[in-house]
């Protein structure tokens, strides 16, 4: 929590239109996400509309753009782990209490997780004292359709009779993709005869709810810890 504002600090990572980011922007410092503010948004796509959403917020939210391929081209000899470290550098400089991956289309590796957890230090940066929790929104139920295109894959599986429902979850980020501890899980029915677009629209509406709930729940754990410290 910032000693200046008395609010929890959130950094959000995005890649696209930013509808999940918008849900967080609308909820910050309200009863749904109390005493919290988004302090920075990072995108790995320059044209991501989420950057515009951040700039248009009241007050405006600062942003950064850092993409993997341009980074590698500009830094011969560097690799994907080095890119993840630079993303971590952008994050820890904001001194956040929480990092939310809201449609971030890049798998962050151990280098990123080691830095934000405080188990590794970047040159020129102060080591993180308290591990920064990282959560991710994934459009599938725990253990199902890990990785990209979860909505399309679930819809296809329904058409084949392999599943009767799908869902969404907010989970903690670990090195195994989409395998971290679930924080919020919500079933989403797939209706026979509906189109992929109709299913996707209903699922997104659930996402907008649970990404806020997940962030609030994790920040609420700080409150419990703070209350138990003598």
Query: Do the beta carbons of residue 27 and residue 35 sit within 8 Å?
Result: no
Secondary structure of residue 138 in the 3-state scheme = strand
Residue 122: count of CB within 10 angstroms of its CB: 17
User: Are 61 and 38 contacting, i.e. CB atoms less than 8 angstroms apart?
Assistant: yes
**Is residue 171 annotated as a catalytic residue, yes or no?**
no
Considering 40, 106, 138, 171, which one is annotated as catalytic?
A: 138
Secondary structure element (H or E) that encloses residue 8, with its range:
strand 8-14
Whether the CB-CB separation of 146 and 178 falls below 8 Å is answered with yes
Burial class (CB in 10 A: 0-12, 13-18, 19+), 34: middle
Q: State the DSSP string of 151-193.
A: HHHHHHHHHTTS-SEEEEEEEE--SSTT-SPEEEEEEEE--TT
Q: How far, in Å, CA of 79 to CA of 75, rounded?
A: 9
Max distance between CA atoms of the chain, in angstroms, equals 58
**Angle ∠(61,64,66) on CA atoms, nearest 5:** 155
Active site residues: 138
């Amino acid at each position: 929590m910032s000693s200046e504002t008395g609010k929890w600090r959130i950094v959000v990572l995005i890649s696209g239109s930013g509808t999940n980011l918008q849900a967080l922007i609308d909820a910050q410092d309200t009863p749904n996400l109390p005493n919290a503010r988004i302090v920075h948004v990072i995108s790995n796509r320059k044209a991501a509309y989420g950057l515009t959403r951040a700039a248009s917020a009241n007050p405006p939210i600062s942003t950064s753009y850092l993409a993997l391929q341009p980074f590698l081209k500009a830094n011969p000899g560097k690799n994907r782990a080095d890119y993840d470290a630079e993303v971590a550098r952008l994050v820890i400089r904001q001194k956040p209490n929480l990092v939310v991956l809201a449609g971030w289309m890049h798998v962050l590796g151990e280098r990123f997780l080691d830095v934000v957890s405080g188990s590794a230090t970047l040159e020129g940066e102060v080591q993180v004292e308290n591990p920064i929790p990282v959560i991710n929104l994934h459009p599938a139920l725990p253990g199902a359709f890990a990785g990209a295109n979860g909505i399309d894959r679930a819809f296809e599986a329904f058409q084949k009779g392999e599943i009767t429902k799908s869902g969404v979850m907010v989970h903690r980020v670990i090195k195994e993709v989409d395998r971290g501890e679930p924080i919020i899980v919500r079933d989403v029915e797939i209706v026979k005869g509906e189109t992929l677009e109709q299913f996707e629209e209903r699922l997104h509406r659930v996402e907008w709810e649970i990404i806020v709930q997940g962030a609030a729940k994790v920040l609420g754990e700080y409150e419990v810890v703070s209350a138990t410290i003598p």
